[in-house]
Amino acid sequence: MAFETIFALALVALIVALAYWQRGSSKLAFNVEFESAIFETPAGRLSGRDLRVVHYVFQELRGNEGGRGLRTGWWYCIAPDSRRLMVIGQDDLVGMTRVETKWVVRQLTEAQMRGALPALRDGD
């Protein structure tokens, strides 16, 4: 293989690795934000640390020029009183540059929780 081809492949691999790393760090940062947030829930006022997370789904829309994109996260949780909750966190652009996370808490029935989580449906 020519040096240019090897260099191009290495550059592409580096770009993919950096994009994957950035997404992972953004996902982790969003989860840390969830853990420190306080939510009004049917079980009372709880922080993310008070909830047992059984599943976490993360999505990020790419930002401009490689910047952080707007994030959405879905945390499927069990409250201390055994209620099933889905906490949705979504970044919202406030003004031209400031991003603020909005939180929504929904109580789920057992059937809704099982329906939302394939691993629970399959008995895993």
**Dist CA 5 CA 11 (whole Å):** 10
pLDDT band at 9 (very low <50, low <70, confident <90, very high): low
CA 110 to chain centre: 22
| Whether residue 66 has pLDDT greater than 60 | no
Residue type, 51: L
DSSP letters spanning 78-119 = E-TTS-EEEEEEEEEEETTTEEEEEEEEEEE-HHHHHHH-HH
Q: Provide the number of structural domains found in the chain.
A: 1
Least confident of 11-15, 50-54, 60-64: 11-15
Which span out of 5-9, 62-66, 97-101 was modeled with the highest average pLDDT? 97-101
Mean pLDDT of 34-42: 93
Q: Name the residue range of residue 92's domain.
A: 3-121
More confident position, 50 or 117: 50
Mean pLDDT of 75-102: 90
Q: What is the pTM of this model?
A: 0.71
**Dist CA 118 CA 124 (whole Å):** 9
